[in-house]
């Protein structure tokens, strides 16, 4: 038996630092980790500004949690008091209007950042091996975000809160056999009621922190593989990388300040532009709004839901449309990551982005006439994209040879 | 960078069209004092608007999110507000004997409700419930433009349009039928400041008052917004310069 260091004890205690920093770091290796992952962490030189949206999304999340904590100190989760407590925040709480509008608008901007972030992942093939888990944790987060946003939208207890919650929770009743049981468990009643707003409030908080947990997994998995980049090629040598700090920190900060200027512009001058005026009417179970429209970020999926004439089919299509995105690492058969070198897939992805906006528009329109037909075409393309085009284009297409990061940068410089 | 700007623009473009969906009635646009980056509520218009609310609207419509003390923001002083509040009787209690009693309203009280409850409001208005006006400007698409238009929109019904008993024709109401009879007309009330009380004036004044009531934080919001945007602009210039400096020697 080795008497010197039986459990590798001394090795764990060895820290690159001395003094207090070394004392802490040898017991809690957080400083070491932060330095390795956020200061020295090598990233490809060729990243463009699309790569700033992950950090932007994280700051949106932090802003949402902070503003949410302060809202929670004044909000009252009951059918009788919810609406007026929000108005009390808007009128009587010092800077309450700011915190409330911040929370409301940051939710939308969080989705904007995340949608751009997901598009980036699709376009440059960031979902492919070895980053499948990064992508899947990302999509799980997106799914939880949708849940959190839906629950949160119920809380102000306006007309759209109430009726949106009624329509969406009703989807669960489409599930055979257990549907009604799930529905009443979720609502705590037979319809959206006092019990519902109370439990939705708790779940809204819970899911928000579940997202934070997934962020940790998202970042850990990302830091195992390193960032993808526009070429989709892994860095060949150290010359093709930069340390995260100061290069990415300053670049991301610049992008972030620009993004938050946009947030500030909307927040301070058009705070209700992404909301619905009906939500300033107190929830009333006796009056149904003329058009029940979900928040804008749900509209593409709402359009898919309504495109299918069968209720259960619609629900399956809606959840399936999100699940399929998560399966893309295995549905896409191409070896080449970046769309820059995949002429056909590039068109497919751009059409997919267009499809997203078309469906978003259709989701806001009443489900009648031409809108239903366009919704169905859009839904068909969504599924065609994942189930047929992704595997097929990978086989049929002849991709160009991707450039190495150095050559990519050289060519880009020559173009300028 | 350009691409991203396009994407963001496109998303917003999409949002604005997706939310304008619905009504087919064209609401005219008006030039309100609180529009724009530096917009503020026209105090004298809002004060006159309060008088319109007090003498006309408050007969049927509650504004239960407002307190009399809030009127201070419109330029009424404390004594004026005490006088305004004391015109109303509200139920309070129970007192030490266990009885409910009526007393004059205080500045800290919410605006007195014209009806004891919703059913009483319906019973008095042919079954139609006069909505609370605290948030009405934010609770309708097109907000103030719509409210002003609605108040001016009591035209003669077109010949073939059937207006049932107890309903009125209104050009700007969804479906053109409204349960509220035209509340305002030329000279409906007298203004203390000598302003001519034309229908248009009464309507735009009360709309100003209601816009303030729905969004009292608007002026503070815009003022802070200018400061925040200026701050972020300076910060952006600094980060822009720093980025150029730090990346200067990097071939990218």
Q: Which residues of B95-113 are buried (b: 16+ CB within 10 A; e: fewer)?
A: eeeeeeeeeebbbebbbbb
Q: Which of A155-159, A247-251, A286-290 is predicted with the least confidence, judged by mean pLDDT?
A: A286-290
Alpha-carbon distance A344 to A350, whole Å?
Answer: 10
CATH 1.20.1250.20 at B32-66+110-216, yes or no: no
Is the separation of the CB atoms in A198 and A77 below 8 Å? yes
Stretch among A125-134, A311-320, B34-43, B160-169 having the lowest mean pLDDT: B160-169
Contacts of A203 (CB under 8 A, 6+ apart): A147, A151
Question: Is there a domain that residue A395 lies in?
Answer: yes
From B9-18, B154-163, B242-251, the region with the lowest mean pLDDT:
B9-18
Domain enclosing residue A198, as ranges: 45-415
pLDDT in tens, A20-68: 999 999 889 899 999 999 999 999 999 999 999 999 999 999 999 999 9
* Rounded percentage of chain A residues whose pLDDT exceeds 70: 97
pLDDT (0 to 100) of residue B7? 54
Residue of B nearest to A358 (CA): B14
CATH code (residue A324): 1.20.810.10
Distance CA A77, CA A91 (A): 18
Query: Is the pLDDT score of B248 beyond 70?
Result: yes
How many Cα atoms occupy the beta-carbon half-sphere of B61 within 13 Å? 21
Name the residue with higher pLDDT: A87 or A5.
A87
Q: Cβ separation of B221 and A281 shorter than 8 Å?
A: no
Average pLDDT score, chain B: 91
Residue with tokens 């139609």: B128
Number of domains in chain A: 1
In angstroms and rounded to an integer, the radius of gyration of the C-alpha atoms of chain B is 24
Contact residues on chain B for A264, CB-CB shorter than 8 A: 225, 228-229, 232
Chain A residues inside the 8 Å CB shell of B16:
273
Of A277, A364, A409, the CB nearest to B18: A364
C-alpha pair distances (Å), A25 with each of A29, A216, B133: 4, 20, 60
Report the pLDDT value the prediction gives residue A414, as an integer from 0 to 100. 85
Chain B contacts of A366, Cβ < 8 Å? 21
| pLDDT at residue A15, as a whole number | 81
Q: Which residues in chain A are contacts of B247 at CB distance < 8 A? A: 247, 250-251
* Chain A with chain B: Cβ pairs closer than 8 A: 124
d(C-alpha A170, C-alpha A157), whole Å? 17
ipTM score for this prediction: 0.92
Q: What is the mean pLDDT of residues A170-194?
A: 94
pLDDT in tens, A302-313: 999 999 999 999
**CA torsion A147→B8→B14→A300, rounded to 10°?**
-30
Is the separation of the CB atoms in B153 and B172 below 8 Å?
A: yes
For residue A319, is it within any domain?
yes
Q: In angstroms, what separates the C-alpha of B97 from chain A's closest C-alpha?
A: 29
List the helix and strand counts (H, then E) for chain B: 7, 4
* A91 contacts B217? CB cut-off 8 A: yes
> A290 to chain B: which residues are within 8 Å by CB?
22, 174
Which of B15, B138, B140 is closest, CB to CB, to A296? Answer: B15
- Where do the structural domains in chain B lie, given as residue ranges? 32-66+110-216, 219-252
- Cβ-defined contact of A409 to B251 (cutoff 8 Å): yes
Mean pLDDT of A148-152: 97
A383 reaches B (C-beta below 8 A): no
Percent of chain B with pLDDT over 70: 90
CA distance readout (Å), A191 to A175, A196, A253, A294 = 17, 8, 46, 18
Residue A279: closest CA among A147, A115, A148, A100:
A100
> Quick check: A415 pLDDT over 70?
yes
Residue of B nearest to A267 (CA): B225
Rounded to whole angstroms, how far apart are CA atoms A98 and B36? 19
Asked if residue A285 is part of any domain, the answer here is: yes
pLDDT band, very low/low/confident/very high, at A416 (cuts 50, 70, 90)? confident
The catalytic residues of A are 223, 227, 251-252, 295
What distance in Å separates residue A13's CA from the closest CA in chain B? 36
Note whether A261 contacts B141, CB cutoff 8 Å: no
Q: Is A217 on the interface with B (CB under 8 A)?
A: no
Structure tokens at A181: 């049981």
- Does the pLDDT value for residue B8 go beyond 90? no
- pLDDT band, residue B252 (cuts 50/70/90): low
Res B22 pLDDT > 80 = no
Distance (Å) from the C-alpha of residue A4 to the closest C-alpha of chain B? 48
Please tell me the predicted confidence (pLDDT) of residue A392: 97
User: Which among B139, B233, B249 is the top mutation candidate for probing chain A, defined by the most A β-carbons within 10 Å of its own β-carbon?
Assistant: B139
Distance CA B201, CA B44 (A): 12
């Amino acid at each position: 038996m080795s008497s010197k260091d039986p459990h590798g004890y001394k090795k764990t205690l060895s820290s690159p630092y001395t003094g207090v920093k070394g004392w802490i770091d040898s017991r809690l290796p957080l400083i070491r980790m932060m330095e390795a992952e956020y200061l020295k962490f090598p990233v490809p030189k060729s990243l463009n500004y699309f790569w700033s949206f992950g950090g932007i999304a994280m700051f949106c999340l932090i802003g949402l949690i902070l503003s949410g904590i302060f809202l929670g100190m004044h909000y009252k989760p009951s059918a009788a008091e919810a609406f007026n407590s929000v108005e009390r925040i808007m009128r009587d709480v010092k800077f309450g209007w700011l915190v409330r509008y911040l929370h409301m608008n940051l939710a939308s901007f969080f989705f904007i950042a995340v949608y751009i972030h997901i598009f980036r992942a699709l376009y440059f093939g960031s979902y492919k091996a070895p980053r499948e888990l990064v992508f899947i944790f990302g999509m799980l987060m997106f799914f939880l975000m949708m849940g959190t946003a839906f629950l949160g939208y119920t809380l102000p207890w306006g007309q759209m809160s109430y009726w949106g919650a009624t329509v969406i929770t009703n989807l669960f009743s489409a599930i055979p056999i257990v549907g009604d049981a799930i529905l009443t468990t979720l609502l705590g009643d037979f319809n959206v009621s006092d019990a519902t707003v109370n439990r939705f409030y708790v779940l809204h908080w819970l899911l928000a922190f579940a997202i934070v947990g997934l962020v940790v997994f998202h970042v850990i998995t990302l830091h195992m593989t390193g960032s993808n980049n526009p070429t989709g090629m892994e860095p060949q040598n150290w010359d093709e990388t930069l340390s995260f700090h100061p290069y990415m920190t300053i670049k991301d900060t610049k992008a972030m300040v620009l993004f938050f200027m946009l947030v500030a512009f909307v927040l301070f001058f058009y705070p209700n532009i992404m909301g619905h005026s009906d939500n300033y009417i107190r929830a009333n179970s006796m009056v149904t709004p003329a058009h029940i429209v979900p928040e804008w970020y749900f509209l593409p999926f709402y359009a898919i839901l309504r495109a299918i004439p069968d209720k259960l089919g619609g629900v399956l299509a809606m959840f399936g449309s999100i699940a399929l995105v998560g399966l893309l690492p295995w549905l896409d058969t191409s070896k080449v990551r970046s769309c820059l070198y995949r002429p056909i897939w590039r068109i497919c992805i751009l059409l997919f982005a267009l499809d997203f906006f078309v469906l978003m528009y259709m989701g806001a329109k009443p489900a009648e006439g031409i809108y239903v037909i366009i919704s169905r075409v859009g839904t068909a393309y969504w599924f065609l994209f994942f189930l047929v085009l992704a595997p097929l284009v990978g086989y049929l297409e002849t991709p160009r040879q991707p450039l190495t990061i150095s050559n990519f940068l050289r060519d880009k410089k020559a173009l300028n | 960078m350009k691409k991203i700007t396009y994407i963001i623009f496109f998303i917003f473009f999409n949002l604005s069209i997706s939310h304008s969906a619905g009504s087919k009635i064209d609401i005219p646009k008006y030039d309100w004092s609180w529009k724009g980056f530096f917009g503020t509520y026209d105090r004298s218009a809002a004060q006159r608007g309060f008088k319109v609310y007090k003498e006309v609207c408050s007969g049927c419509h509650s504004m239960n999110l407002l307190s009399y003390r809030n009127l201070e923001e419109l330029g009424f002083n404390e004594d004026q507000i005490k006088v305004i509040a004391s015109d109303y009787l509200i139920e309070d209690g129970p007192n030490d004997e266990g009885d409910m009693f009526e007393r004059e309203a205080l500045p800290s009280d919410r605006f007195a409700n014209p009806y004891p409850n919703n059913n009483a409001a319906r019973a008095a208005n042919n079954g139609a419930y006069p909505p609370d006006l605290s948030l009405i400007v934010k609770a309708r698409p097109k907000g103030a433009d719509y409210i002003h238009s609605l108040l001016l929109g009591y035209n003669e019904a077109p010949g073939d349009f059937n207006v049932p008993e107890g309903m009125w024709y209104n050009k700007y109401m969804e479906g053109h039928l409204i349960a509220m009879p035209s509340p305002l007309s030329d000279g409906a009330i007298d203004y203390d400041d000598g302003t001519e009380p034309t229908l248009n004036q009464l309507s735009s004044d009360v709309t100003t008052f209601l816009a303030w009531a729905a969004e009292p934080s608007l002026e503070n919001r815009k003022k802070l917004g200018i400061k925040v945007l200026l701050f972020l602009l300076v910060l952006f210039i600094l980060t822009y310069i720093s980025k150029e400096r730090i990346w200067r020697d990097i071939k990218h």
